[in-house]
Chain A
Amino acid sequence: MTDIERHSYDVVVIGAGGSGLRAAIEARLRGKKTAIISKSLFGKAHTVMAEGGAAAAMGNANSRDNSQVHFRDTMRGGKFLNNWRMAELHANEAPDRVWELEAWGAVFDRTKDGKISQRNFGGHEYPRLAHVGDRTGLEMIRTLQQKVVALQQEDAVSHGDPEAMIKVFAETTITRLVKDGDRIAGAFGYVRDSGSFILFEAPAVVLATGGIGKTYKVTSNSWEYTGDGHALALLAGAKLLNMEFVQLHPTGMVWPPSVKGLLVTESVRGDGGVLRNSEGKRFMFNYVPDVFRAQYAETEEEADGWYADPENNRRPPELLPRDEVARSINSEVKAGRGSEHDGVFLDIASRLPAEEILRRLPSMCVQFKELADVDITKEPMEVGPTCHYVMGGVEVDPDTAAAAVPGLFAAGEVSGGMHGSNRLGGNSLSDLLVFGRRAGIGAADYLDGLTARPAIAQADLEAAAAEASAPLERPGGENPYTVHAELQDIMTNLVGLIRVETEMKQALAELEKLRERVLTVGAAGGRGYNPGWHLALDLRNMLIVAECVALAALERQESRGGHARDDFPQMSPEWRKVNLICTLDGDRVHLSRQPMKPMRPDLLARFDRDELKKYLTPDELPAPVTPEEKH
């Protein structure tokens, strides 16, 4: 039998990004012995790449901002498909979570009166994003990392061992969750450097594994984003929600090819940058959809006036939610008004003095200078849509982050619901903190209610070990890198920004063929730090996730947020009432419909009835207010 290193914990958090670290900190603060597992080194998780900021209605930049306004913006951005309870909790709790980071050592940019500065972003009515230049994710991850270290220092004093209560297992990958009957019992995986197997016995597991971007070819995401958590959850019997909603960020780099997809932060537009086509026109004025007409400027003068005087001017259309901007860019390029490399121009050079650009957007300056030979203080950038974020994910209870499987929790990008059909920029970093903490509490409370620890069956371990070893036993098998590239092509070409039935059916047929090949991929070389082997194992997850996205996208016959159909271009109030659920049936993805829970009346009342009409069916609308009641 294979050698397996065993560890026993109360809570195992899979993922060391913002949500995982915040969950682990909370579990440890509540006295639970906690392990943090991460595919990469500590402090390098994908969150490190976030640029623009964390949205929280602290009201530092505009005192009119508050959590009710934030809630409204979030629901609008998600086109009302959001889990409204999550959107509510998120808006309410985000300020406390950001302030807490500051108390743990984060050094945000400041306002004149010494508070945390807040910047504008698409879809947010007021300047709302707490930020540090354009490297906010780095600040967040480093602060949480340093908070984990601070807790370990306390434990060194009280327990004589810094790792007594919270320990990081870096460069360790989980390939299976293990169960005892219907409950979670632990997590199984391998250690990258040695290739040896490792088992964490734990009654509670928090998934915080991030997204799925590596199933697409043009993406802003890193290699970690292979949908592991999504697949692990399905394999363990949990449900995925609304996987058809994949966000394409409107501004990725398009040239040179080696950096295609790399993110150009939305802060460029938040700080005054504008989009132009090859004719030099600010084309976004032509693309303001009806639902947003009232909130966006109609002339350049009004749009430009907004930065200094937001009370008397409406917002520039460049700051529409991301799905709108991405589709508009796509239309301009299709109409032949794109740039040389099939993008459009993003111009900050003519809008701000060079020193100001250097101060506010330092990493963008370096990124373009060093990777594309473009000086953004002098010339416009060429940009186009890039796969950025998955709104769909593990269905969870909003308050406790609990998934359908007892003992399983999920937070951050791997969870679903919070962002509806489209996420607003800045709402992820705050989501990580709010629901990371809630997952930590959820897991701790779950443990407190347990009477016996679950047990793990030897046969399950043998099966997990055999599955993980398989590619190494096929050294002459198919090249995993080739299969991965084909999978990315299928998803990018056939289930991309604009979708149509025939192409999605073709995608499903091609994925079906890939399924056989994934089972035959092999890895040459040994067990120690062997990336070919690691990728071979990731392919299982990417394939499952790709099937979920394609199936759900084919099913939803409307266009909404991150799901745009050429054959069903309208948004449909009937479809708004439907959540699409993926489960696993043997090795097959099974899709079903689940009704959306009606929004609580007091939350509905935060919107104008006329606005609600654009999203809801007549029978869902609140009764019209009679004139007497109004006064």
Chain B
Amino acid sequence: MGYQAQLRIWRGDAGRGDLADYKVEVNEGEVVLDVLHRLQATQAGDLAIRWNCKAGKCGSCSMEINGRPRLACMTRMSTFGENETLTITPMRTFPVIRDLVTDVSFNYAKAREIPSFTPDPATKPGEFRMQQVDVNRSQEFRKCIECFLCQNTCHVIRDHTENEGAFAGPRFLMRIAELEMHPADTADRREIAQDDFGLGLCNITKCCTEVCPEHIKITDNALIPMKERVAGRKYDPLVWLGSKIGRRQVKDTPKVPGKK
């Protein structure tokens, strides 16, 4: 095999930038990240890319390839035609730092607002007993590699920066769902899911689920059930308390404050 691929790569920084054309060699079995690395090593030593594991495990190499949000290390070159020009751009929702690297600090800020895992203080380390069936759901959500592709894709913030304050995005609404479904957690985050993290803004389009490289069913398994729980709580909190009754804190857990 081996051919010359045509790439158009966005080069620039926070101020300005443009697409630049390159021709790079491609060998059998390679992924987009391999080709970007070859470009770095031979023609553009300062091309900024974020990557780490090159195995789809760390969620660093998120970018948009022909307009589709993807991990560069898990996108095979063979999915494109040899004559096709690949257009590679940074994630659009987040501010560009340089070239293909974006400022994803929004996500870390949201993560810090969600009340953390709150086990019953009476349960000591080593004493937790949980059945596999009861942790399956939380485990599915914990497969998340924080690539932020879902955050990048969700239209609630992609085209509306003004929503960033009121909306945590699918990744973090799912984090709330994960904690709510954790059999040993005692906090109640339903009210803040709705009021502070913008669960209501999600209109279940499933675009987040479609781009998730971990194939997590974000919408079906996290967002919709959370919506049901929030709705259920409005008229019958006991329905949701279910098996956890007596262990749940009576009060709603408030959102965590930031810097004063």
Contacts and interface: CB of A to CB of B under 8 A. Distances in A.
B13 A528 contact: yes
Contact of A99 (B34, B58, B125): B125
B66 interface: no
A44 B59 contact: yes
B27 to A, nearest CB: 7
A110 B131 CA distance: 6
Contacts of A371: 29, 31, 74, 76
Contact of A366 (B48, B56, B111, B117): B56
A569 interface: no
B102 to A, nearest CB: 10
Contact of A162 (B31, B59, B259): B259
Given A40-B60, A259-B29, A142 B55 contact: no
Contacts of B99: 529
B98 A193 contact: yes
A263 B128 CA distance: 32
A363 B214 CA distance: 9
Nearest to B133: A110
B135 A43 contact: no
10 contacts: A48-B52, A48-B58, A48-B145, A96-B126, A99-B125, A110-B135, A156-B258, A162-B259, A367-B55, A370-B56
Contacts of A27: none
A102 B74 CA distance: 31
Given A99-B125, A371-B74, 17 more contacts: A40-B52, A40-B58, A49-B58, A107-B130, A110-B135, A133-B139, A138-B142, A146-B116, A156-B112, A223-B51, A255-B29, A370-B74, A481-B45, A485-B41, A524-B46, A528-B97, A533-B46
A530 B55 contact: no
3 closest residue pairs by CB, A with B: A256-B29, A525-B46, A532-B45
B205 to A, nearest CB: 25
B246 interface: no
A114 B130 CA distance: 5
A523 B47 CA distance: 11
B45 A110 contact: no
Interface string A214-231: 000000001110000000
B34 A523 contact: no
Contacts of A153: 112, 115-116, 256
B104 interface: yes
A103 B130 CA distance: 12
Nearest to A108: B135
Nearest to A135: B143
Interface in A338-374: 363, 366-367, 370-372
Contacts of B46: 523-526, 530-533
A115 interface: yes
A100 B55 contact: no
B28 A257 contact: yes
A107 B119 CA distance: 13
Interface string B112-145: 1001110100011110111110010011001101
Contact of B256 (A135, A156, A479): A156
A26 B98 CA distance: 35
For A41, A163, A480, A531, the residue with the greatest tally of chain B CB atoms inside 10 Å of its CB is A531
Interface string B76-109: 1000000000000000000001110101100010
A43 B145 CA distance: 9
